[in-house]
Amino acid sequence: MVTGVLCLVTPKLMNSKNIIIIGGGISGLATLHGLKAKFADRPDVKIILLEKADHLGGTASSQHFPEGIFEQGPNGFLDSRQETLNLCEELGLKQQLVRAADAADKKFLLLGGQLEEFPSDLKSFLGFRPLPFWDKIRLPLEIFVRKGSDPEETVYEFGVRRFGERFTKLFLDPFVTGIYGGDARELNLRAAFPRLHELEQNYGSLFRALMKLRQAKRGEGRQVSVTPKGKLTSFLRGMSAVGETIAAKYPDSIYLKHEVHPLEASGTGFKVEAGNASFYADKVFLCVPAFVAAGLVRNVSIEFSGLLERIPYAPMAVVGLMYERRSFSHPPEGFGYLVPSYEQKGVIGVLFDSNMFPNRASGDKVMIRLMLGGVNNPGIVREDHSAIRQLAREELAERFQLKAQPLKEFCVVHPRAIPQYDRSYARLLPALEQESARQENLFLVANYLKGVAFNDCVINARKAVLRCAI
Ligand SMILES: Cc1cc2nc3c(=O)[nH]c(=O)nc-3n(C[C@H](O)[C@H](O)[C@H](O)COP(=O)(O)OP(=O)(O)OC[C@H]3O[C@@H](n4cnc5c(N)ncnc54)[C@H](O)[C@@H]3O)c2cc1C
């Protein structure tokens, strides 16, 4: 792998084609692997990846320490997408895959200071006290609600229209905050949850959709759900396993500590400068957040840059706290809990990582991660790390009557963590797609298009690789 100083000018060579990938998060990594496979029998095609950090992985980075692992970003992905499973298999990571323990299937909501178990079936739903009786019996009437026609409808509006306000506040709001760090009143249903939109449009009702799909799939023995399917899955060494494996597989193609400067158009391609190195690229894959991509394409197309710049992001802080198990009178159970925004806690969700993946903390210890901030608490980025850690400790102390101090603390702040598929984004997207199509030698592969999940990044990369002809 190439790190540090390198002064190299790769001019456009006769008969040679250069592809440059900018950014070594999962989007860039899946792109690199896909392109290497696609052009394996084309020695004339040179592919390199430029990454500004000193390691690969981007948000999906794990911090290893003697007693466990702290994940700075995602703690896993759902095993429902074959594209990600194929990537793992091709990288030889299949044996490394670990599925979350069944004990972590239980999920909780923090409501009025109490942890309430998230209902997992009809019986527990009917017994779920925070949702009043009338709101429960109203639910089947969803079948009679007309389908929506407003392309800018928010998740909140959709929820209230179909299921009622109380249901939306209790279930949809924390779901949105948990995935996007976002605000259900702002996120656009169609862009943020395309499957819900599609089911409503195709079947007229989510209940009807569920029944019809169940009927159709009954013979196949497959499960049907309107929420994301699959089991949370990670790697024994944590999420940085993909970056570590790719770094070992393609050492000569990866340039770490190479922060790319704005691109310059050059012939039909681009001059790409990073540190004091200069490259020529026939094709460039931008696998960086939208606000970085905006800067990179500024000199190529000011319109493209302007559109990318307008994509909003939510800030997020992730705090990891490791305790002795015996510090808890009742050790935390299940997956963790989400906090609806009306609780106004500043905490979005709390994940019991070592319940999901026991090796996140050695035997007698417990690893808990707290997500703080989000669009409803943007001030988090101005707090210093010790204040954020304190907020996290206080949350757990209150929830579990904890008196002991953590054995280990970790904190990472992502000032612009997750793109927001909000109303303004919904208006922006057609223009962005149009402009992107005009830039035939520039490819956008990132979580601000077609989904923010780890799986979505892998799928986006795969699609972009298929489109790339050289
Ligand atoms: C806190 C958090 C928790 C999450 N949890 C989950 C989860 O549990 N499950 C899930 O499916 N998804 C989760 N996500 C979402 C998912 O992790 C991300 O969408 C995904 O990892 C983004 O990958 P990426 O490669 O598109 O971007 P990034 O990971 O941001 O990678 C971009 C890379 O580009 C590099 N870069 C930036 N500028 C330059 C430059 N000028 N030159 C060169 N390199 C540059 C960066 O250093 C970085 O390595 C989470 C996200 C966050 C923030």
CA dist., res. 181 & res. 423, Å (int): 16
How confident is residue 10, by pLDDT bands cut at 50, 70 and 90? low
Domain presence at residue 278? yes
- Of 419, 438, 455, the position where a domain reaches its end is 419
114 within some domain: no
pLDDT at 244 over 70: yes
Q: Give ligand 1 pocket residues (Cβ under 6 A).
A: 22-28, 50-53, 58-60, 73-77, 259-260, 287-289, 292, 316, 318, 414, 417-418, 446-447, 452-455, 457
Percent of the chain with pLDDT over 90: 87
Residue 124 in domain: no
Q: What is the CATH number of the domain that holds 80?
A: 3.90.660.20
pTM: 0.94
Strands 107-111 and 283-286: unpaired
**pLDDT for residue 224:** 59
Which helix (DSSP H) or strand (DSSP E) does residue 451 occupy? Answer: none
pLDDT in the model for residue 218:
72
My answer on whether 342 and 406 are in the same domain is: yes
Are 306 and 431 within one domain?
yes
Per-residue confidence (pLDDT) for residue 214, from 0 to 100: 82
What is the average per-residue pLDDT within 198-225?
82
Average pLDDT over residues 354-359: 96
CA of 136 to the centre of ligand 1 (A): 38
**Would you state the structure tokens that stand for residue 144, as one six-digit string?**
């009679």
314 CA from centroid of ligand 1 (Å)? 13
For residue 155, tell me if it sits in a domain: yes
Gap from CA of 288 to ligand 1 centroid (Å)? 8
Q: Give me the mean pLDDT over the 103-122 stretch.
A: 93
Closest residue by CA, ligand 1 atom 6: 74
* pLDDT (average), residues 361-381: 95
For ligand 1, the distance from its centroid to the CA atom of residue 107, given in whole angstroms, is 25
Structurally, the chain folds into a number of domains equal to 3
Residue 99 lies in a domain: yes
Same domain? 412 vs 328: yes
On whether residue 214 sits in a domain, the answer given is: yes
My answer on whether 54 and 68 are in the same domain is no
Average pLDDT estimate for 55-68: 97
Ligand 1 atom with least separation from CA of 57? 49
Both tokens assigned to 139: 């639910």
Question: Quick one: tokens of 448?
Answer: 């601000």
Which residues 6+ apart lie within 8 Å of 216 measured at CB? none
Residues 255/281, Cβ–Cβ less than 8 Å: no
pLDDT digits (tens, 9 = 90+) for 160-170: 999 999 999 99
Question: Average per-residue pLDDT in the chain?
Answer: 93
pLDDT of residue 7: 39
Q: Is residue 396 one of the residues assigned to a domain? A: yes
Question: Are 339 and 387 within one domain?
Answer: yes
Please check whether residues 279 and 405 belong to one and the same domain. no
At residue 226 the predicted structure's pLDDT band, cuts being 50, 70 and 90, is low
Residues 324, 380, single domain; the answer is yes
Contact 182, 122 (CB under 8 A): no
| 120 pLDDT more than 90 | no
Q: Which residue among 288, 308, 414 is best mutated to probe the pocket of ligand 1, counting the most ligand atoms within 8 A of its Cβ? A: 288
Q: In this predicted structure, what is the pLDDT of residue 181?
A: 95
Q: What local confidence, expressed as pLDDT, does residue 94 receive?
A: 96
Residue 210 has which token pair? 């569920």
Distance, CA 390 to ligand 1 centroid (Å)? Answer: 26
Which domain covers residue 415, as residue numbers? 62-104+312-419
Confidence class for position 206, pLDDT limits 50, 70, 90 = very high
Q: Would you state the pLDDT for residue 308? A: 97
Same domain, 295 and 328: no
State the Cα–Cα distance between residues 320 and 56, nearest whole angstrom: 21
For ligand 1, atom 26, the nearest C-alpha belongs to 446
pLDDT of the residue at 121: 86
pLDDT score, position 5: 40
**What are the pLDDT digits (tens) for 308-345?**
999 999 999 999 999 999 999 998 999 999 999 998 88
d(CA 238, ligand 1 centre) in Å: 15
Are 457 and 445 in contact by the 8 Å Cβ rule? The answer is yes
Residue 14's pLDDT is 57
pLDDT-derived band of residue 8, with 50, 70 and 90 as boundaries? Answer: very low
Centre of ligand 1 to C-alpha 354, Å, is 23
- Same domain for 401 and 436, yes or no, is no
Residue 140: CATH number of its domain: 1.10.3110.10
Inter-CA distances, 454 with 255, 411, 444, Å: 23, 21, 16
In this structure, the answer to whether residues 425 and 307 fall within a common structural domain is yes
CA atoms within 13 Å, Cβ hemisphere of 468: 30
Instruction: Give the closest residue (by CA) to ligand 1 atom 33.
Output: 23
